[in-house]
A and B are shown apart, each in its own frame.
Chain A
Amino acid sequence: MTTTTGNAPTGRRHPLSRFAGYDPDAPPLEVTDLRVVFADASGRPGAGGVVVDGVSYRTAPGRTLAVVGESGCGKSLTARAVMGILPRGARVTGGTVRLHGIDLLGLDQRALAQIRGRHLSMVFQDALSALNPVLPVGHQIAEVFRAHGDMNRRQAQRAAVGMLDRVHIPEAARRAGHYPHQFSGGMRQRVMIAMALALNPEVVIADEPTTALDVTVQAQIMELLADLQAEHAVSLVLISHDMGIVANAADSVAVMYAGRVAEQAPAEDLYRRPAHPYTRALLDSIPRRGSRGRALTVLQGSPPDPAESTDGCTFRPRCPLASDACATAPSPQAVAPRRTSACHNWKEVVGA
């Protein structure tokens, strides 16, 4: 069962074509040199610590880009900046976000609302708090259809039940009338996914979609996401701190550290031969078969405080390869085609 409103059928103009800059061949999502700044101590928005500092990444149709890094590295804030739902006090101070060539940061709230949910949507980490506790879940899904299609209440409700069915929630028609607290964690996340994929958007951002769940449920949710993605050639941005999950799901990976992209590479290459000491450290901390009995390498220290500006490479204090060159901040260097590393000594890392 699929929903009634998919992408526009061929022969009709694509709904995105009414926005300036639309280019069907441009990457579904392209972030360039994005900067996000928090409020300073006196509460002036966008005058405090730099939390996202020149991040660039792009996605491909039907592919999954994983954005990984420790908590606080700016991966979620980048996503929120893309969606236009930054927390109070945070501001985008530079860079662009383009959806099929459309400059999202230049759109007014009205135009942005037409794109959000319809062409660009998000799955949040904690479905319990991300769903409204006092509205039935069916209603919350139906809202997406109501906001973007010209469905009446009945049709939207029916479409919502269809979506619940599509994410494999048993007895969808009855469950649609239930409230979020009446669902299990995994079922709630399915509801979130139903909501995000209701209109088959071009781009879906999934922010730690499985972090709050049991390991077995995690696998089911990731499988569901992959199925739905394959069905409609959705371009997925998967935000995670779990290198294990990313290894199974991602086509390409962007590793973030302290608000910057440390390394960007096709998943296979990155796992086989990391080109940044931070990536290497992350991979070393995954328990593997055969490593039983050996101590895991754990990265010492903690990421820098975004409120304090640091000169040079932000990873320098924790880096085993730090040299004098690291006193200047490295810009992304081409390691291979479609592969960059923000490290002066990347050759040493790859060679090791």
Chain B
Amino acid sequence: MASYVLRRILLMIPVLLGTTFVIYAAVYALPGDPVQALAGPDHVVTPATAAAIKEHYHLGDPFLVQYWHYLTGLLHGDFGIDLANTPVSAIIAASWPVTVKLAVMTWIIEAVAGVGLGYLAALRAGRLPDLAVLGGSSLVLGVPYFITAYVAQIVLGVKLHWFPVSGTDDGWPLSYLVPALCLALLGVPEIARLTRASVLENLGADFVDTATAKGLSRSRVLVRHVLRTSLVPVVSMLGTNLGYLLSGTILIEGIFNLPGLGFQVFQSVQQHDGPTVVGISTLLVLVFLLVNLVVDLLYGVLDPRIRLD
């Protein structure tokens, strides 16, 4: 197990360098004036801000030196400065709790609803619940989730007044419930389908017959042997899905006015505040990589076979 953990961690280093390099190259190494590129074509940058940005990013130095400064800065929690010359890390510090609350709630909904529906569909394969889950998941995948979010906002908030329309005035969990549900729509169909396929495969597995032949009750066979084994690939998908989830917070927090990291990106794009967009996005990338590392390690715990590969 120890060598498995070490290998996973070592494998992450090139990815970490690669992703930050792509971001850095896209933003600061493109031809033209990076300050103007970040600010957008219509934005007038005051000479003072331009100078501050130039100095902060060491734009006078050779390219690799710039990248090195940027990378070591990231490790120290330096995500750059915005156009108003305040550190992006300050914006992050103020808004991360909102995003964490939303993401955790969404993740729980995804896991519970996705696994539950997929399991139900597999046990009733070919019959009504199964067809409903399969058809429903196609439908949900087909309608872009930010459209669903708007419709939910209009119907549940504006028309029916069941939930707050936007903002976080009603606190956790009420203000987060509808946004989390809309965001979960991104992951639930895929998780449900994967769970269904995985449970169906395991239902026909030999070890299920063994468990039955041992005299275990049907419910114990289903939970302990079928479901437990089927969850292994689902866990790894929960990790991949976090990518969609983090991307989704940008739209969902924007639509529902939840002042989290995604909302800051949404706002900064509209206000052409490039450094904030890039800084927060970089954090999201790092979080994504880190959580996936944790999921990978968890995968190793759940499936002893892969530790050896």
Contact = CB atoms under 8 A, between A and B. Distances in A.
Interface string A127-140: 00111111100000
A153 to B, nearest CB: 13
B149 to A, nearest CB: 38
B213 interface: yes
Interface string A109-144: 110011111100110101001111111000000011
Contact of B211 (A110, A114, A118, A143): A143
B214 A147 contact: yes
Contact of B214 (A110, A117, A182): A117
Contact of A181 (B213, B214, B215, B304): B304
Interface in B263-309: 302-305, 308
Contact of B213 (A121, A132, A148, A179): A121
B232 A118 contact: no
A128 B290 CA distance: 35
A182 B218 CA distance: 28
Size class of the B contact interface (CB-based, 8 Å)? 20 to 34
Interface in B197-240: 204-207, 209-218, 220, 224-225, 228-229, 232
A156 interface: no
A254 interface: no
From A114, A179, A192, residue with most partner B Cβ within 10 Å: A179
B207 A132 contact: yes
Contacts of B204: 87-88
A144 B212 contact: no
B207 A133 contact: yes
B213 A116 contact: yes
A267 B308 CA distance: 46
B302 A132 contact: no
Contact of B206 (A124, A147, A195): A124
A295 interface: no
B205 A144 contact: no
A85 interface: yes
A179 B224 CA distance: 16
A126 B206 contact: yes
A133 B305 contact: yes
B215 A148 contact: yes
A176 to B, nearest CB: 14
Given A132-B225, A133-B305, A115 B215 contact: yes
Nearest to A205: B213
Given A179-B305, A181-B305, A130 B207 contact: yes
A144 B210 CA distance: 11
A336 B210 CA distance: 38
A113 B215 contact: yes
A282 B199 CA distance: 41
Contacts, number: 85
From B211, B212, B214, B218, residue with most partner A Cβ within 10 Å: B214
Nearest to A125: B206
Nearest to A181: B305
B212 A195 contact: no
A143 B216 contact: yes
A335 B29 CA distance: 94
A192 B206 CA distance: 12
B299 to A, nearest CB: 11
B110 to A, nearest CB: 22
- Consensus secondary structure, chain B interface: helix
Contact of A124 (B210, B217, B218): B210
A98 to B, nearest CB: 18
Contacts of A115: 215
A130 B232 CA distance: 18
Contacts of A110: 217
Contacts of A84: 212
A129 B215 contact: no
A216 B84 CA distance: 80
A91 B231 CA distance: 30
A181 B304 CA distance: 9
A109 B215 CA distance: 10
Nearest to B302: A134
Contacts of B303: 133-134
Contact of A131 (B207, B217, B228): B207
A85 B213 contact: yes
A195 to B, nearest CB: 7
Given A109-B218, A131-B207, A132-B225, A85 B232 contact: no
Contacts of B212: 83-85, 116
Interface string A59-97: 000000000000000000000100111011000000000
A113 B209 contact: no
B209 A130 contact: yes
Contacts of B218: 109, 113
Interface in A181-200: 181-182, 192, 195
B225 to A, nearest CB: 6
Contacts of A195: 210, 214
B209 to A, nearest CB: 5
Contacts of A114: 215
A87 B206 CA distance: 10
Q: Which 10 A-B pairs have the closest CB atoms?
A: A117-B215, A116-B215, A117-B214, A129-B206, A179-B304, A132-B207, A130-B206, A122-B213, A85-B209, A130-B210
10 contacts: A83-B209, A87-B204, A88-B204, A113-B215, A133-B303, A133-B305, A134-B228, A135-B228, A143-B211, A181-B304
Given A117-B214, A129-B206, A133-B207, 14 more contacts: A84-B212, A85-B209, A85-B212, A114-B215, A115-B215, A116-B213, A124-B209, A133-B303, A134-B229, A143-B211, A143-B224, A147-B216, A147-B220, A182-B304
Interface of A: 80, 83-85, 87-88, 109-110, 113-118, 121-122, 124, 126, 129-135, 143-144, 147-148, 179, 181-182, 192, 195
